[in-house]
Amino acid sequence: MHLQDVPTISVAELPPDAVLLDVREDAEWQAGHVDGAVHIPMNEVPQRLSYDAGPVTPDAHVVVTCKVGGRSAAVTAWLRHQGYDAVNLEGGMLAWDAAGRPMVAEGDAEPYVY
Task: Catalogue the active-site residues.
Answer: 66
* Strand-pair partners of 61: 85
Q: Which residues, other chains included, contact 108 with Cβ-Cβ below 8 Å and sequence gap of 6+? A: none
The gap from C-alpha 35 to its chain's centroid, in whole angstroms, comes to: 12
Q: Which residues, other chains included, contact 78 with Cβ-Cβ below 8 Å and sequence gap of 6+? A: 45, 46
Where do the H-state alpha helices sit in 1-114?
Answer: 26-31, 45-51, 70-81, 92-98
